[in-house]
Amino acid sequence: MTVNSKVIHIKVTRWISEHIPHQRLILLLSILIGTVTGLAAVLLKTTVHVLTKFVTEHVNMFSGNWLYFVFPFTGILLTVLFVKLFVKEDIVHGITRILFSISKKNSQLKAHNMYSSLVGSSLTVGFGGSVGLESPIVLTGSAIGSNLGQWFRLNYKTTTLLIGCGAAGAIGGIFSAPVAAVVFALEVLMLDLTTVSIIPLLISAVTATAVSWLLMGKGVVFSFTVMDPLILHNLPYYVVLGLFTGFISIYFTRITKYIERLTDRLGKTYLRWDRQQQRFVKEEITGKKILLFQRLVIGSAVVGLLIFLCPPLFGEGYEALKMILSGRSADLLNGSVFYPLKEEPYWLLAFLSLVLLLKVIAMAVTTGSGGVGGIFAPTLFMGGVSGYILAGVINKIPIFQVSDNNFVLAGMAGMMAGVMHAPLTAIFLITEITGGHNLFLPLSLTAAFSFITAQYIEPHSIYTSRLAKRGELITHDKDKAILTLLKTNRLIEKDFISVHPENTLGDLVKCISKSKRNIFPVIDDNAKFIGVVLLDNIRDIIFDPEQYKTTLVSGLTTPAPSMIEAGETMDAVMSKFEKTGAWNLPVVEHGKYIGFLSKSKIFSSYRNLLQQFYEE
């Protein structure tokens, strides 16, 4: 920002604050965020559609096609070049990045997030990368909200609300599902359900939905009208489906985490043939360019091989779901090496089971090798395939009969509930995008049992597990949320007078006369923390001049009950305070003294943040 632009910025924000009430400003910004995010969703969907059509028009749909090896590599290569040359920052895991910004970055997302994920995901998915577009567009919308909040210099709470408006607008724009969009912001981003928050979220979601509907009509990501009636005595089967999708959700989450760890290790080592030992040995790779190239080549080759074997893995998977729901499930074998088995129903179920197992691998490898995309679409895809497979198995038993279509839709809800730990979002999303309000009961049953099953084994969703592991997750538990927001480094008090272990009691008395504290940290010549001298422990000798020259500080030093490492989470800090019962604890960095944390300062900051959370 130049000097002139800064002056203009200050004048504009000052005029707005003086002439537009705060609540009205939020409503106006929610409309703006919804409009821009809706346009971004339309742009993303249209770009990917054009790219996909361009690269697949030469594919032979009646046999295996080797072009499937080329497409993912091209898309991931272009994405990697764009990220490295222009963005110069990792942009994967969009929703996790949003949650991290809320919990650790004062809800501040960088400006490039307003467009970088759009470009990266367009290239990745347009050329067949087996990931979704929803997470990138949610990051885009949230970044728009965050940067508007930063531009208008709004406080943390309001900026967080604008992030939620961006996320709600993104889901509303790409799915034309405003209610599910609002529920998503509340359930996944864990915003508060208050009248102050619900209205802006709803305005943003409805605005984005209207924009996308006007420009795309039924060209939204996924649209299908439910035709099959609900049979009440089939409800127990939806419980079984819920349990089934719950276990598939666990598989999805664990395989994703495993492949992320695997690709991380893959980028650090390689196998070299050792002539003396006559075997392959592991060696570490040095140089970021070599690491990047290895991940790109190996990862895109794996994705290409998987798509070659199972063409439904190409792209997001919504077209495959439409085939299943329209009764053309056998066409999923088009372009596959298994095409000759197209008319065999048992082979179709076996093929779809293989697709189900490989989809999560293709997704994780796509992002691990440098592609940009999310897990939203793969989750819905695997849920729909899971429902179709289970319905096919049940219908093979003569005395049972269930609706394939209804099971596909309920499976989508169950998978989303299990993977994202968002059962309400799952229920409302499938209801809205399909118009299947008569399926509300089976959707609820499937989502509930899937969520319970998955949460029992995986306590955190795939979005929050990385943050929860590092203690950086904000939750609906306000106590934990506020503790997460408190930054230990900002609360360190440095007005304690330190003493050297070789100082005498007389030197210490001089320090006492100048200090307003009753604790004196003892540090050596290298600033290493040794212990403390407590005023209460030396009251009986500080008025005895005979000991001033003979008594050393080292003999009066006591160890601290515990030490806090700089940058430690507030949750861990409070745990140390509770265990020791101390009122002040020293803060060190690699053993060197920095200052003290006190309960009184923490409680004061906690109270201020608590007021910000609950002010209306």
- pLDDT tens across 140-174, in order? 999 999 999 998 888 888 898 999 999 999 999 98
Paired residues of 281 in beta bridges: 272
Pairing of strands 279-284, 584-589: unpaired
Phi, psi of 473 (to 5 degrees): -105, 125
Label residue 452 exposed, middle or buried (CB < 10 Å: 0-12, 13-18, 19+): middle
Predicted local distance difference test score (pLDDT) of residue 343: 67
**Beta carbons of 530 and 522 less than 8 angstroms apart:** yes
Percent of the chain with pLDDT over 90: 28
Q: Is 113 helix (H, G, I), strand (E, B) or coil?
A: helix
What is the distance between the alpha carbons of residues 76 and 549, in angstroms, rounded to a whole number?
73
Predicted local distance difference test score (pLDDT) of residue 145: 94
Percent of the chain with pLDDT over 70: 85
What is the distance between the alpha carbons of residues 544 and 546, in angstroms, rounded to a whole number?
5
CA-based nearest residue to 613, from 492, 488, 477: 477
- Residue 291 confidence class, pLDDT cut points 50, 70, 90: low
> Does residue 437 carry a pLDDT above 90?
no
CA-based nearest residue to 260, from 117, 361, 374: 361
Q: Please give the structure tokens belonging to residue 428.
A: 């409302």
Indicate the angle between helix axes 22-56 and 67-82, nearest 10 degrees: 140
Cα torsion 231, 237, 243, 244: sign: negative
Phi, psi of 511 (to 5 degrees): -65, -40
Predicted local distance difference test score (pLDDT) of residue 603: 82
- Residue 57 confidence class, pLDDT cut points 50, 70, 90: confident
Helix ranges (H only) for 267-344 are 288-309, 318-325
- Residue 475 confidence class, pLDDT cut points 50, 70, 90: low
Tell me the average pLDDT across 450-467: 86
Predicted local distance difference test score (pLDDT) of residue 449: 96
- Residue 287 confidence class, pLDDT cut points 50, 70, 90: very low
**Beta carbons of 221 and 316 less than 8 angstroms apart:** yes
- Residue 616 confidence class, pLDDT cut points 50, 70, 90: very low
Residue of 502 and 5 predicted with greater confidence: 502
Buried b (16+ CB within 10 A) or exposed e, 488-521: beebbeeebebbebebbbebbbebbeeeebebbb
What is the distance between the alpha carbons of residues 444 and 423, in angstroms, rounded to a whole number?
8
- pLDDT tens across 588-615, in order? 988 899 999 888 888 877 777 666 655 5
The CA-atom distances, in angstroms, between 392 and each of 348, 385, 403, 407, 439 are 10, 10, 9, 10, 19
Pairing of strands 584-589, 564-565: parallel
Full set of structural domains in the chain with CATH: 21-222 (1.10.3080.10), 232-469 (1.10.3080.10), 485-614 (3.10.580.10)
Predicted local distance difference test score (pLDDT) of residue 385: 94
Predicted local distance difference test score (pLDDT) of residue 276: 67
Pairing of strands 269-274, 564-565: unpaired
- pLDDT tens across 315-345, in order? 888 888 888 888 888 878 877 777 766 666 6
Distance of CA 73 to the CA centre of its chain: 25
> Does residue 509 carry a pLDDT above 60?
yes
Label residue 80 exposed, middle or buried (CB < 10 Å: 0-12, 13-18, 19+): buried
**Looking at 66-80, 375-389, 461-475, which range is the least confident one?**
461-475
What is the distance between the alpha carbons of residues 352 and 364, in angstroms, rounded to a whole number?
19
**Beta carbons of 332 and 351 less than 8 angstroms apart:** yes
Predicted local distance difference test score (pLDDT) of residue 65: 65
Phi, psi of 591 (to 5 degrees): 90, -15
Residue 468 exposure: Cα atoms within 13 Å on the Cβ side: 9
